[in-house]
Chain A
């Protein structure tokens, strides 16, 4: 039997997001057994995943009480964690994946290391150095955390660092209970019947709230959106979805009051949710866990991404779904203020685009519609309508291209860059110049470090100069420029190498400085390609379908 362990000490959405990885591990061989380690409060969610055979839990509240309350000796926390995890040490694991990648889960996977054949992700060695199982793991640990507009999706990172492959949209439906399936099917059939069983009836689920206010669709906007939905000719019926909490009930009561208590609302826990979602024709939701349920059940979704949620790392993965967000440079700067500018008409226009073929929505300034698309590096988000900032999109595209080259040896410039030809502008050119200037400065620092390394090899020389040069070089990795990416990888490797002799250290630095040089040249080549395509139009005209759509979309944006 092939045993895999997924360590996932995160929340509902992150656990649902691991469904594709679990399926991949489950189908690796006919007798695969997949175990997931989660916090106890998310056990019910983990049990929904069809390819997870076993769920082991840690009682987080108990562990936190032991470790933080003055009443108890901290050693009780250690004792509890050891006793909880020791069953996992009683068997051999063919593979263990550190999905949550926080400090505790990384210590746990390191604790289990002796029983694991292959560790995927980040772990600590016996010498306490940080080990990355692959380049994907370095990207996950060192590049994505500093990138608000991440160029790759977590979905692909999970699979990349575990199997070396990137993802496709091949979800396996979450487990459902027949009593919930039957109950929902019956109730929703009654609704359709009440509207004359017309074929054009669409049941539109609307998630009322999230646990974070800044992510919620503002109350007034939500009310007006529902009014628009109800007032149009088409029989699109809003069904308000909520969790079984007092806060949600109060909210639904307030919302329903605005509609003379005639709104249809459904309250459900996690166990019943997949049955409800699968019976909807579409879902409109702020960025919360239900979007992952809809992805698993193949229900097209309008994700309204507000606040500071990591849109490009964890957005919907269904290519039929869309994401409506503030223009992403505005998200970063003033999300709270702009949140209230969301117009009900934008939601309505987006919904039409979601449900009707060939519909061309009009999205107000300051907002963008994105749609998931799949390329060789897995899932990416294409701006399909609305307002965009070319420089921000260009940075995403170049970073994705560089990571494609780094991770799968394919920069995909023909796929990622052509849409920018129509966005040629002085601002974009000026941005390219700035990026090139940064890379030039970083390259100079790299050459200085290489020279310092040469001197450091001289007998009796002081290591001071090489250390200073390395510090200066690595300071470039802190930046948000595209040129920082190769340096982040270099920094990770240098900071986690502990050579036993100076000679061993110098050899290591030398080989990795040359690796950095090659990576920087690869990035320069990508930036040059981008510049050529944008400014000189040097691009092959043979484009795939996605690229063609990119171009069409950008042209829409410009209109």
Chain B
């Protein structure tokens, strides 16, 4: 489980759908079909089947009461055996607790939940970073996404600050942190490049830093053709 939300609790209640399933309603928004949430979840998976066939790793934006998650897991299992992973991002921590209490969360060990509205914190989670950098397939649960549009859009278009100050909060190796400790907090990665490049004595990690800087500025084709 991830960290819990510290945002103000929205207006929340649970309603029973026509088929008897419970569904959460937040600020008047029904997060699942008020007729048949399971059927709606099946339709959601059908619509997104090509993503589920193509990707073993899925980033799911929005949990609700996890009806869609259950169907997603079935599809992944069918396509990839047990070799898959789903990461769920849900800004409303209360929703996760409620779904858990009501026994709605699938028991699969292949699912990880992150429940915080603090995007900086999300991008400081080492496991989540490792997952995201592998280019997972992205599925958005429509009702949850619309309810938290600002949050999810901000998450998907995040712009890392790239300052040393921010880097100090990241889960970086001790040696890397020690390298950064020589520089001022306000310095950006790009500004640091100039400092490292022009320093009269470069450290071992300074070489790697310059290597990354070179990589940022060229494509693989250019790299393989550029001599020193």
Contacts and interface: CB of A to CB of B under 8 A. Distances in A.
**B and A form one assembly:** yes
Contacts of B189: 73-75
A104 B167 CA distance: 22
B215 interface: yes
Interface residues on A, range: 35 or more
Contact of A73 (B134, B160, B220): B160
A294 interface: no
B107 interface: no
A65 B133 CA distance: 6
Contacts of B129: 72, 76
B227 A102 contact: yes
B207 interface: yes
B172 interface: yes
Contact of B228 (A71, A76, A122): A122
Nearest to B158: A71
Nearest to B155: A71
A75 B176 contact: yes
B123 A78 contact: no
A72 B160 contact: yes
Contacts of B132: 71-72
A104 B208 CA distance: 8
B207 A101 contact: no
Contacts of A83: 173
A367 interface: no
- Among B189, B218, B228, find the residue whose CB has the most chain A CB atoms closer than 10 A: B228
Contacts of B157: 70
Nearest to A124: B207
A67 B209 CA distance: 11
B204 A114 contact: yes
B176 A104 contact: no
Interface string B117-148: 00000010000010011110000000000000
Given A70-B159, A82-B176, A145-B227, A76 B211 contact: no
Contact of B170 (A11, A63, A75, A140): A75
Interface stretch (B21-29, B73-81, B95-103, B195-203): B195-203
Interface in A469-527: none
B159, B211, B216, most chain A CB atoms within 10 A = B211
A543 B226 CA distance: 40
B180 A75 contact: yes
A195 to B, nearest CB: 43
Interface in A126-182: 126-128, 130, 140-142, 145
B224 A11 contact: yes
Contacts of A86: 173, 175
B48 interface: no
Given A11-B224, A71-B123, A111-B207, A127 B200 contact: yes
B195 to A, nearest CB: 12
Contacts of A11: 224
Contacts of A413: none
B177 to A, nearest CB: 9
B134 A108 contact: no
B170 A73 contact: yes
A104 B227 contact: no
Contacts of B228: 101-103, 106, 122, 130, 141
B162 interface: yes
Interface in A76-124: 76-79, 81-83, 85-86, 89, 100-104, 106-108, 110-111, 113-114, 122, 124
Q: Could you tell me the dominant secondary structure of chain B's interface residues?
A: helix
A405 B129 CA distance: 55
B54 interface: no
B166 A73 contact: yes
Contacts of B227: 101-102, 122, 140-142, 145
B205 interface: yes
A52 interface: no
Contact of A62 (B134, B201, B223): B134
B6 interface: no
A457 interface: no
A73 B212 CA distance: 12
A190 interface: no
A193 interface: no
A66 B81 CA distance: 29
Contact of B211 (A14, A68, A104): A104
Contacts of A9: 223-224
A79 B224 contact: no
A63 B215 contact: yes
A62 B134 CA distance: 7
B105 interface: no
A106 B208 CA distance: 10
A130 B132 CA distance: 37
Contact of B209 (A60, A73, A78, A140): A78
Contact of B133 (A66, A81, A82, A130): A66
Given A107-B208, A127-B202, A141-B227, 19 more contacts: A9-B223, A9-B224, A60-B220, A62-B134, A65-B133, A65-B135, A67-B216, A70-B159, A72-B129, A72-B133, A75-B162, A75-B167, A75-B180, A76-B129, A76-B172, A81-B212, A101-B227, A102-B228, A122-B227
Interface of A: 9-11, 14, 60-68, 70-79, 81-83, 85-86, 89, 100-104, 106-108, 110-111, 113-114, 122, 124, 126-128, 130, 140-142, 145
Interface of B: 123, 129, 132-135, 157-162, 166-167, 170, 172-173, 175-176, 180, 189, 197, 199-202, 204-205, 207-212, 214-216, 218, 220, 223-228
20 contacts: A61-B135, A64-B220, A67-B212, A71-B123, A71-B160, A73-B166, A74-B212, A75-B162, A75-B172, A76-B170, A77-B212, A77-B216, A78-B208, A79-B173, A85-B208, A89-B204, A103-B228, A107-B208, A128-B202, A130-B228
Closest 7 CB pairs of A and B: A107-B211, A103-B214, A74-B189, A75-B167, A73-B160, A111-B207, A110-B207
